[in-house]
């Protein structure tokens, strides 16, 4: 799914707040119908979609966003780098803000439903057949899950269940990440400490720019900035681990995302729009929501996400979604935006998505132990354009799908008794399992229903 929202967006753009120009009001009113009163002398728009650098209104104060109120007191910490949103206000929350090249075409994935949503981006979404379930198997034996201890921080012991108590407990564990890529790309995001060795869990799309060089700076709640090293990343699950030796942040305690219930209260913590230490609250509004994000075929993530209406925005990526006992149950990763929304209007609309911590725990353990993570595959490709199931477009020789007797043209309609209505639904469902597990597939061939038991292989990514 995409980091987007559903609904219409017909309201007029808000006008950026700015102090009156000295001497304003002295001139006579313009002739009715003239727009002179609404024009700036420098020719720049004052609407909320104008992300240019504003005029200095007060010595030492630089608004982070158009219309930001003037502070009566300078904060103890102000980010030195606040990247301006790009022209398309990227739907992922920590997009590498680069002025060039322009956005690629065909990056919008249309999700079928009453209201179309955009929840991520996929390059080449218009391809007739896309390898999504797997394009190869490692051929190696299924490796055992590492037992690296993560998410075993001190028991929060929250008694009041209030947002303020949760915030006070978790804020010291949440950090802001500033990434500079070797290709001169920049990104900001969030993360949180998961052990006492300085390991920080975040999103892959936050740190991907530094995978081939560059730097990752980590800012703690106490205001200390350190350089982190990239331990490993998993584009398949949009997760990554960075490490700061001597990190000045206590480890969080993980909860259990599979026990989360729709309607329960949650809190999101992160650095939206570069505003470190921001806390918002809401509820779990849905579970097991298929979400697809990514810009290239190699970086596409398929997530069975927790959906929340807690306000999350660009920069919240990688931050924790926590229950009212201050235990982390998800990693904030995506927001929904209205398809076709106007420039600059793709912020939070009450539809955010988090990677369940049960999956994130397994991936984090693998990344710390091996520097890479595996995900389950069936050894087949499916047609991304087909609706009404997942139609097999290719079967790899010797793969689990081949051993189960599946052929090109078969249409998979369910997995473990859960209906499959699209290729994305199938892939997300497969990714909720682990390599070595068996799943029951129901598929149609020549109009007849068939069943197959498939033991999942593994692939690194």
Return the structure tokens found at 403. Answer: 């051993």
Q: Are 321 and 190 spatial neighbours (Cβ–Cβ below 8 Å)?
A: no
Backbone dihedral region of 447: left (phi > 0), alpha (psi from -120 to 50 degrees) or beta? Answer: left
Higher pLDDT, 246 or 104: 246
- Name residue 217's beta-bridge partners: 178, 227
pLDDT value at 44 more than 70 = no
pLDDT at site 344: 45
The more confidently predicted of residues 334 and 43 is 334
pLDDT tens figures, 384-403: 999 999 999 999 999 999 99
Question: What confidence score (pLDDT) does residue 136 get?
Answer: 43
Burial class (CB in 10 A: 0-12, 13-18, 19+), 427: buried
pLDDT in tens, 286-316: 999 999 887 666 678 999 999 999 999 999 9
Element (H, E) at 402: helix 400-403
The residue that leads in pLDDT, 109 or 293, is: 293
Q: Mean pLDDT, to the nearest integer, of 227-240? A: 96
- By residue count, the chain amounts to 461
Mean pLDDT of 18-31: 51
Helix (H) or strand (E) holding 453: strand 448-455
394-423 b/e with 16+ CB inside 10 Å = b?
Answer: bbbeebbbbebebeeebbbbbbeeeebebb
In this predicted model, what pLDDT tens digit does every residue of 238-261 receive, in sequence order?
999 999 999 999 999 999 999 999
Q: What angle do CA 129, 135, 137 make, to 5 degrees?
A: 160
Q: What percent of the chain has pLDDT over 70?
A: 66
Which pLDDT belongs to residue 406?
A: 96
Lowest mean pLDDT across 26-40, 82-96, 327-341, 359-373: 82-96
pLDDT digits (tens, 9 = 90+) for 136-193: 444 556 777 888 899 999 999 888 889 999 999 999 999 999 999 988 889 999 999 9
Q: Point out the least confidently predicted range of 15-29, 50-64, 123-137, 340-354.
A: 123-137
Region of poorest pLDDT, from 15-29, 106-120, 143-157, 338-352: 106-120
DSSP secondary structure string, 99-167? S-SPPPSS-BPPPPSSS-EE-SB-TTTT-SSB--S-S----SPPPPPP----SB------SS--HHHHH
pLDDT at 28: 56
Whether residue 206 has pLDDT greater than 50: yes
The catalytic residues are 205, 238, 317
Q: How does the average pLDDT of the chain come out, rounded?
A: 76
Q: Report the pLDDT averaged over residues 379-383.
A: 95
| 213-251: b (≥16 Cβ within 10 Å) or e | ebebbbbbbeeeebebebbbbbbbbbbbbbbbeebbbeb
Give per-residue pLDDT as tens, 52-80.
333 344 444 454 444 444 444 443 434 34
Kindly report which listed range (84-98, 246-260, 390-404, 422-436) carries the lowest average pLDDT score: 84-98
More confident residue, 67 or 263: 263
Give the C-alpha distances (Å, rounded to integers) separating 296 from 108, 122, 125, 143: 12, 6, 9, 27
* pLDDT at residue 159, as a whole number: 84
Q: What pTM was estimated for this model as a whole?
A: 0.71
pLDDT of residue 82: 39
Task: Specify the pLDDT at position 33.
Answer: 54
């Amino acid at each position: 799914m995409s980091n987007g929202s559903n609904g219409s967006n017909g309201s007029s753009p808000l006008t950026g707040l700015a102090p009156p120009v000295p001497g304003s009001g002295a001139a006579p009113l313009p002739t009715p119908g003239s727009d002179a009163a609404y024009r700036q002398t420098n020719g720049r728009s004052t609407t909320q979609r104008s992300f240019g650098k504003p005029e200095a209104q007060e010595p030492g104060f630089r608004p982070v966003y158009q219309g930001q109120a003037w502070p009566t007191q300078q904060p103890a910490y102000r980010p030195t780098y606040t990247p301006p949103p790009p022209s398309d206000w990227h739907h992922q929350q920590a997009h590498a803000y680069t002025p060039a090249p322009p956005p690629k075409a065909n990056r919008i994935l249309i999700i079928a439903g009453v209201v179309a949503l955009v929840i991520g981006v996929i390059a080449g979404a218009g391809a007739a057949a896309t390898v999504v379930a797997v394009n190869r198997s490692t051929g190696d034996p299924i490796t055992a899950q590492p037992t690296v201890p993560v998410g075993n921080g001190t028991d929060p012991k929250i008694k009041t269940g209030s947002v303020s108590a949760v915030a006070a407990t978790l804020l010291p564990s949440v950090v802001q990440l500033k990434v500079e890529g070797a290709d001169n790309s920049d990104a900001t995001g969030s993360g949180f400490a998961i052990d006492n060795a300085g390991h920080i869990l975040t999103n892959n799309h936050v740190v991907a720019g530094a995978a081939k060089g560059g730097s990752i700076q980590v800012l703690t709640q106490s205001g200390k900035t350190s350089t982190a090293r990239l331990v490993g990343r998993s584009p398949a699950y949009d997760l990554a681990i960075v490490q700061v030796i001597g990190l000045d942040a206590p480890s969080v305690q993980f909860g259990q995302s599979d026990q989360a219930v729709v309607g329960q209260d949650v809190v999101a913590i992160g650095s939206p729009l570069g505003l470190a230490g921001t806390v918002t609250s809401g509820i779990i509004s849905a579970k097991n929501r298929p979400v697809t994000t990514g810009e290239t075929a190699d970086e596409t993530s398929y997530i069975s996400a927790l959906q929340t209406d807690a306000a999350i925005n660009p920069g919240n990526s990688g931050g924790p979604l926590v229950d009212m006992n201050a235990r982390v149950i998800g990693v904030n990763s995506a927001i929904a935006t209205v398809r076709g929304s106007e420039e600059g209007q793709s912020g939070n609309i009450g539809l955010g998505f988090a990677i369940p911590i049960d999956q994130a725990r397994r991936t984090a353990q693998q990344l710390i132990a091996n520097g890479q993570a595996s995900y389950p595959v069936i050894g087949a490709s499916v047609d991304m354009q087909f609706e009404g199931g997942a139609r097999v477009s290719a079967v790899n020789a010797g793969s689990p799908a081949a051993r189960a007797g599946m052929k090109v043209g078969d249409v998979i309609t369910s997995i473990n008794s859960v209906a499959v209505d699209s290729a994305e639904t199938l892939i997300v469902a497969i990714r909720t399992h682990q390599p070595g597990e068996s799943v029951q597939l129901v598929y149609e061939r020549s109009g007849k229903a068939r069943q197959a038991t498939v033991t999942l292989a593994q692939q690194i990514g």
